[in-house]
Amino acid sequence: MAGQTERTEETTVVILGGGPVGLFLANELSYRGIDYILIEQGEGKVYFPAGENFFSRTMEHMRRWGIASSFRNGTGFPPGMARNVGFCTRIGGKPLAFFPGTSNAGAPAADPYSPEGGFFYPKKEFDPALRRAAEARGGDLRYQTRLLFFKQERDAGHVDCTVEGPDKETYVIRGKWLAACDGGRSGVRKALGIRFAGTFGEGYNFATYFRCHGLSERLNAMFGNRMAQVHTLSDDRRAYLTSVDGDAEWRLSIYTEAAETLDPAEIVRPVIGPDLDFEVIQAQPWFGHRVVAERYRDGRVFLLGDAAHLRWPKGGFGANTGFGDAVDFGWKVAAVSEGWAPEALLDTYETERRPVAIRNTNEAANNRVLDHMIQPSPVLDEESPAGEAARKAMHEKLFALRLREFNTPGIQLGHRYRNSPVIVPDGSLEGPDDHMVYIPTTYPGARAPHFEFGDGSSILDHYGRGYTLVVTGNVSGADDFVRAGKALGIPVRAVHYTDAALRKLYECALVLVRPDGHVCWRGDTPPESAGSVWLAVSGRLLQPDAFHQTGCDELS
């Protein structure tokens, strides 16, 4: 353990980790005016691009920050290139199925449920762009800075993080909270003794990042469309290719029997064919897990992103789930820091986000199971009646089993914070929860639905800074309800609309939307006890959990 240091700096939140979730949290805190210091032991360079599929809900948060448009029209991926997915026997063989996608530029118009739609952006470009956005907001981001150990005490009201900077100087960063966004091997989680629940190593894979001119043209010719991802069924390795930059850079993944490091050139060559030149940039094995941390909080330390959950990359649920963690934690830290919510509100971070992680992690694992139900066969390539029949059967099977991975509006927009103590139930019957189906609803705990006004703006643009009471009828007492919240120091405003379509969509005349865009109360008339509702949704009725004493924690 390092000795005493002379210098101590103070901040509200210490963010450990400069990956996508840590950077997302940095932007969320900046948006809410909460100071932080982000520390990252690396230089911020992304060596292996993965996780490029970003959900419409993620883009809605970025829209709230004012940066969605710049990302959508950025240079990370061709804005007009659709994210088409195809299945074939082999490269140069027989096409089996084609799932059309939307482009970055076209996604907003194609999504009836979101003003943004999905987004495709390679991690090697996405992380630096998030970093620039955070720095533009005045964020304090410190790279090549390593956390040595941290210490929290029951009555101290802070957590001390001893760090080593790029010049090898050690000093203390004292934060009110520590947000551990330090990945699946999280040293903070290990130091706290928090275990993962679930199954590790459900399967093994090997991925190669390479450059190949001419591969795009070959794939496009097979399907008659520009392709973003192509899966093959030539053998049990089930090689699939994902475009990294919309041009010559690709990522190739295969299933393997065990955790092993292979010769990437010997993996790529039989997949793309003998005549195309290619250059291997990076290669690595990876593993499919289904695990979620047993708890997300220990005193003043919180786990976010991969530090709290690991899953199969089947559906793009990883980073997007972590971004949801960052938003939930961020608005609650702001509420506590601004003094209108108790520290116990932060206990609901785990209450709300852990079930979402379990849901998404299980869905990703289920996608992997369904994928393994697709068995390669040499008959699929035959020019014969048997081959034609096999291809037709496989086509139907792929749509039945594999389309669900690429069509997930229910996962993206339909998650609800069930059983949250800061959500007031109304006794209504909850609608279906299906990963492929999104049904707009203001059911308490759900994301408030998108509604487009005549000028092209979204009602979601009115949410984010505080609570918003959406009034869609001639209701007396609505302003009194708002005043009751303001009297408690809670930031809230009422917005009145007369649009009949909005009234139908929002189901009730009064809908109270939280700073994160989720409904926390609704009714056709103001509540009998306005104060009770405000005490509930702000967390003032909560009893704080017992503080887990950690003392001094060394990182392994």
Domains and CATH numbers, the chain: 8-76+115-198+291-365 (3.50.50.60), 199-289 (3.30.9.10), 416-542 (3.40.30.120)
C-alpha closest to that of 191 among 202, 204, 182, 199: 182
pLDDT at position 4: 52
- The predicted pLDDT at position 551 comes to 43
Residue 192 has phi, psi (to 5 degrees) of -80, -10
Q: What span, in angstroms and rounded, lies between the C-alpha atoms of 18 and 23?
A: 6
**pLDDT of res. 399:** 95
Within 231-316, residue ranges assigned H as helices are 264-272
C-alpha to C-alpha distances, 349 to 130, 353, 395, nearest whole angstrom = 23, 6, 43
Distance CA(59)–CA(148), nearest Å, equals 35
| Contact predicate 204/287, CB 8 Å | yes
Give the pLDDT score at 5.
58
Would you give the end-to-end CA distance of the chain in angstroms? Answer: 11
pLDDT (tens digit, 0 to 9) for every residue of the chain, 556 residues total?
Answer: 444 557 999 999 999 999 999 999 999 999 999 999 999 999 998 888 887 889 999 999 999 999 999 988 877 789 999 999 999 999 999 999 999 999 999 999 999 999 999 999 888 899 999 999 999 999 999 999 999 999 998 788 999 999 999 999 999 999 999 999 999 999 999 999 999 999 987 888 899 999 999 999 999 999 999 999 999 998 889 999 999 999 999 999 999 887 778 899 999 999 999 999 999 999 998 888 889 999 999 999 999 999 999 988 888 888 999 999 999 999 999 999 999 999 999 999 999 999 999 999 999 999 889 998 998 999 999 999 999 999 999 999 999 999 999 899 999 999 999 999 999 999 999 988 888 999 999 999 999 999 999 999 999 999 999 999 999 988 999 999 999 999 999 999 999 999 999 999 999 999 999 999 999 999 999 999 999 999 999 999 998 764 444 444 444 3
Token pair 């199925």 is found at 97
Residue with tokens 């697709």: 374
CA dist 119 and 105 (Å) reads: 9
Beta strand pairing call for 240-243 and 159-164 = unpaired
**What is the reported pLDDT for 75?**
72
Cα separation, 368 vs 361, whole angstroms: 11
Alpha carbons 351 and 329: distance in angstroms, whole number: 11
State which H helix or E strand residue 469 sits in. strand 467-471
